[in-house]
């Protein structure tokens, strides 16, 4: 019997040691995942608030515009991402609650068995002694050796009962702790469910507004087509100007001194090392027009070709150089407003749709130097056009800018 008690003691000690270790590793992994999701949630909430500020500027004009639609699309995308993150957190909590319930169930069974065994010990002790005292049990020994054996037996039996009682106490505490964890997880999950419902309602309202806005813009097809043709003409003029700059720069590099060539090569190398990590040209905003061929946001079967990206931002936002270099062009192009071109060795960065210019041709600029302010059109849209070239090759700026 004492051997069985010791075996059970080892079993319960093993259970109570292995459960916290097991759930610590599970919780650590889950916490890491939840931490990442929490970071995503904060980023999406920032994007939603940012889009809301930009949307409020265009909405002040009281008429449907592409700028409103772009800001609304950004807000909808961010909110959909937020809802997905919340859903992932809820699923993680579901798994944690299931794991905790398994532990609770196991501990409940163990506690029942421990109490039954403890009751059996007390009953067996009473039955063996038949109500006699421990002293009578000792002094009824037939010789001294038997007395010592009975004394040792009583000590071991007393230790076994004490250990059984301690195990009951430990398991009871662990059971209560695990039950508290389950309740805490359920409360956390309920908060997330409530947040998910709120965000889903907001998303539904935004999508309704989006549909209404598209319907309004569709009625302005003639105006949109005219704006698109004006933009294409402005793009042609800017491309012609950039082609001339590239040609001039190539001519200059052919006659450059060894020191100048080495300096340009070094700057090219430094610029290339910043791929995917260039500072943004504006402090806030989102990509409102992607690089390359893109479907028109309203006009069906119409393709828009973007030589760079459009970054919709807030009114009067400062425009900054994304990297150190030399200003090779400042000018004005109808449909593009003020334009600044900066050379970074073999690379060029182009900043169009500026309200004003704060730099001069030939000036050396550093990363984050303010080169002007973004232009806001009559519809309240503040959209910077940003391009990146290597030689004559147009590059996707999103592959160069830091993740935002």
The domains of the chain are located at 2-218, 221-399
Give 362 or 119, the one with higher predicted confidence.
362
Task: With a cut of 60, say whether residue 21 has pLDDT above it.
Answer: no
Count CB neighbours of 25 within 10 A: 10
Question: What's the confidence (pLDDT) of residue 1?
Answer: 44
Environment class of 188 (CB within 10 Å of its CB; exposed 0-12, middle 13-18, buried 19+): middle
What confidence category does residue 158 fall into, taking pLDDT thresholds of 50, 70 and 90? low
Provide the CATH topology of domain 221-399: Glucose Permease (Domain IIA) (2.70.70)
How many Å apart are CA 31 and CA 33, to the nearest integer? 5
What ranges in 144-283 are assigned the alpha helix state H? Answer: 144-218, 221-254, 258-273
Percent above pLDDT 70 for the chain: 75
pLDDT(356) > 80: yes
**pLDDT for res 18:** 47
Q: How confident is the model at residue 149 (pLDDT cuts 50, 70, 90)?
A: low
Q: What are phi and psi of 357, to 5 degrees?
A: -125, 135
Q: Which residues pair with 401 in a beta bridge?
A: 278
User: Is the pTM for the entire model greater than 0.85?
Assistant: no
DSSP, collapsed to helix, strand or coil, labels residue 368 as coil
The larger pLDDT score, comparing residue 10 to residue 158, is at 158
Q: How many angstroms separate the CA atoms of 180 and 194, rounded?
A: 21
Give φ, ψ of 346 to 5 degrees.
-85, 0
> Does 404 have pLDDT greater than 50?
yes
Please give the Cα distance from 353 to 372 (Å, whole number).
10
């Amino acid at each position: 019997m004492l051997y069985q008690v010791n075996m059970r003691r080892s079993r319960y000690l093993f259970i109570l040691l292995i459960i916290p270790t097991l759930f610590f590793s599970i919780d650590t992994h889950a916490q890491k995942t939840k931490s990442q999701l929490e970071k995503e949630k904060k980023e999406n909430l920032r994007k939603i608030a940012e889009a809301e500020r930009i949307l409020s500027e265009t909405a002040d004009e009281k008429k449907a515009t592409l700028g409103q639609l772009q800001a609304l699309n950004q807000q909808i995308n961010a909110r959909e991402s937020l809802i997905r993150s919340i859903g992932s957190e809820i699923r993680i909590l579901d798994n944690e609650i299931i794991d905790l319930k398994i532990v609770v169930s196991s501990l409940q069974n163990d506690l029942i068995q421990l109490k039954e065994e403890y009751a059996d010990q007390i009953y067996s002790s009473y039955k063996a002694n038949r109500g006699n005292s421990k002293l009578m049990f000792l002094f009824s020994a037939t010789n001294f050796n038997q007395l010592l054996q009975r004394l040792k037996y009583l000590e071991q039996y007393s230790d076994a009962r004490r250990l059984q009682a301690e195990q009951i106490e430990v398991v009871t505490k662990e059971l209560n702790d695990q039950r508290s964890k389950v309740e805490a997880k359920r409360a956390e999950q309920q908060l997330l469910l409530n947040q998910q419902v709120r965000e889903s309602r907001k998303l539904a309202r935004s999508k309704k507004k989006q549909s209404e806005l598209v319907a309004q813009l569709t009625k302005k097809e003639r105006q949109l087509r005219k704006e698109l043709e004006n933009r294409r003409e402005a793009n042609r003029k800017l491309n012609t100007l950039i082609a001339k700059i590239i040609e001039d720069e190539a001519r200059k590099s052919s006659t450059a001194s060894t020191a100048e060539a080495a300096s340009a090569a070094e700057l090219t190398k430094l610029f290339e090392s910043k791929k995917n990590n260039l500072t943004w040209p504006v402090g806030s905003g989102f990509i409102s027009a992607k690089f390359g061929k893109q479907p028109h946001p309203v006009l069906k079967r119409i393709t828009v070709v973007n030589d760079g990206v459009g970054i919709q931002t807030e009114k009067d936002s400062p425009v900054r150089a994304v990297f150190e270099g030399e200003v090779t062009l400042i000018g004005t192009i109808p449909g593009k407003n003020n334009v600044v071109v900066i050379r970074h060795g073999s690379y060029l960065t182009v900043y169009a749709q500026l309200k004003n210019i704060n730099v001069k041709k030939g000036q050396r600029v550093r990363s984050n130097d303010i080169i002007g302010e973004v232009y806001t059109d009559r519809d309240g849209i503040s959209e910077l056009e940003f391009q990146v070239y290597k030689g004559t090759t147009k590059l996707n700026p999103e592959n160069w800018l830091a993740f935002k």
